[in-house]
Amino acid sequence: MFAALKSIGAYVPKKVLTNKDFEKMVDTSDEWIKKRTGIEKRHIAADNESTSDLAAKACEAAIVRSGLDKSQIDALICATISPDYLCMPSTACLVADKIGIKNIPSFDISAACSGFVYALAIAKSFIESKMFKNVLIVGAEKLSSIVDYTDRTTCVLFGDGAGAAVISSTDKKEEAIIDVKISSDGTYQDFLITPGCGSKNPCSKEVLENRLNYIKMKGNETFKLAVKTLTNDVLEIMKENNLSSEDIDYFIPHQANYRIIEAVRSKMNFPKEKTVLTVAKYGNTSAASIPMAMNDWYESGKLKKGDLMLLDTFGGGLTWGSALVHFAGENL
């Protein structure tokens, strides 16, 4: 029994914030943002849209494309760092309710930008252990709710969105998710952190006044570690599976910064035209970034049944992960 990625879906909120918009908000420029990150714009959820709303729309799209009935979904995993509620209920439970599924296990996981790849690893294990047949995974973020729009070093980087996939059992090896590797190192916990409003620094007037409820990032340190870790990670997963760059159809990395992606791509000696890039139009959408990029590629008609994708991600924790995944869905 193998696990296979049967379908992909995404939701992108309508409102757009361009780099020019940020020039009116903080001391920055379109030129700086484009040169240092590759980002040109990002989508922002409406005030009345929460993470579960974005996730539910992405899930609906993925279920329709899987050809399954909702009643066939056995479990739902939501990866997010911007849940609807800080403690409970989980965003996954809200998503299940919104899409009309009940009496299945639904839970959130927290692995920052690596959340989708972590969810993929869990879904694969559920299926290979024969516990479930169809697992719905979704990476969804309303990062605009935890971004400090007075801090130019972080606010220009992030956007909102959601991407979902149905992972199903198959007996066809050529459809299988070949491998998923996930890891972490808490030594670097302060590189990317939202210090306030958790049990360590509960929400208080002081926490809010010091803006500790927002994302803080040691950008440059994170950048250097991201390039090193991601490069080692992709080379390792290919080696362990006896694959080379020529065997991979598409490289779908986490979309945090064009320069990080470019550095890893060139170290892999992988063709530019087979590297999926959405950072310019979506910015960094954390756990939603990889499935949103995959969905873009699918909707552009380039991702076909049987294609082998290499996924690679890095985020707060620090966490990271990579995966070798066949696309087992139907061609669009």
Closest CA to 115 of 196, 51, 39: 51
The interface with ligand ACO within residues 141-180 (CB under 6 A) comprises: 152-153, 156
**The one segment of 71-79, 96-104, 266-274, 308-316 that binds ligand ACO by CB under 6 A:** 308-316
The interface with ligand ACO within residues 245-304 (CB under 6 A) comprises: 256-257, 260, 284, 286
The residue among 81 and 122 lying less far from ligand ACO, judged by its C-beta, is 81
Mask of contacts with ligand ACO, 76-115, x by CB under 6 A?
------------------------------------xx--
Distance of CA 156 to the CA centre of its chain: 18
The residue among 151 and 249 lying less far from ligand ACO, judged by its C-beta, is 151
The residue among 37 and 91 lying less far from ligand ACO, judged by its C-beta, is 37
Q: Which long-range contacts (CB under 8 A, 24 or more apart) does 93-96 make?
A: 94/52, 94/56, 95/52, 95/55, 95/56, 95/59, 95/138, 95/140
Total residues contacting ligand ACO by CB under 6 A comes to: 24
| Cα–Cα dist 233/312, whole Å | 8
Tokens of 139: 């990476």
Q: Which of 254, 257, 295, 326 is catalytic?
A: 254
Tell me whether residue 113 is one of the annotated catalytic residues: yes
Helices assigned H by DSSP within the chain: 19-23, 30-37, 51-66, 91-99, 115-128, 152-155, 205-209, 219-240, 258-268, 279-282, 289-299
Please, is 97 exposed, middle or buried when counting C-beta atoms within 10 Å of its C-beta (0-12, 13-18, 19+)? Answer: middle
Mask of contacts with ligand ACO, 215-234, x by CB under 6 A?
----xx-xx--x--------
Shortest Cβ 195–ligand ACO spacing (Å) = 14
| Cα–Cα dist 230/237, whole Å | 11
The single residue among 214, 250, 270, 314 that binds ligand ACO, judged by CB under 6 A, is 314
Tokens of 8: 């992909």
3-class state of residue 210 by DSSP: coil
The residue among 227 and 309 lying less far from ligand ACO, judged by its C-beta, is 227
Contact in structure between 324 and 330 (CB atoms under 8 Å): no
Please, is 218 exposed, middle or buried when counting C-beta atoms within 10 Å of its C-beta (0-12, 13-18, 19+)? Answer: middle
Shortest Cβ 216–ligand ACO spacing (Å) = 11
Tell me whether residue 78 is one of the annotated catalytic residues: no
| Cα–Cα dist 209/189, whole Å | 23
**Is residue 70 within the footprint of ligand ACO (CB under 6 A)?**
no
The residue among 173 and 211 lying less far from ligand ACO, judged by its C-beta, is 211
The residue among 89 and 219 lying less far from ligand ACO, judged by its C-beta, is 219
Residue tagged 């997010």 (tokens): 80
The residue among 195 and 219 lying less far from ligand ACO, judged by its C-beta, is 219
Q: Which of 19, 134, 257, 284 is catalytic?
A: 284
The interface with ligand ACO within residues 108-127 (CB under 6 A) comprises: 112-113
Mask of contacts with ligand ACO, 20-39, x by CB under 6 A?
--------x---xx--xx--
3-class state of residue 221 by DSSP: helix
Shortest Cβ 134–ligand ACO spacing (Å) = 28
**Residue type at 82?**
S
| Cα–Cα dist 328/332, whole Å | 12
Tell me whether residue 43 is one of the annotated catalytic residues: no
Residues lying near ligand ACO in the complex (CB under 6 A) = 28, 32-33, 36-37, 112-113, 152-153, 156, 192, 219-220, 222-223, 226, 256-257, 260, 284, 286, 314-316
Residues acting as catalytic residues: 113, 254, 284
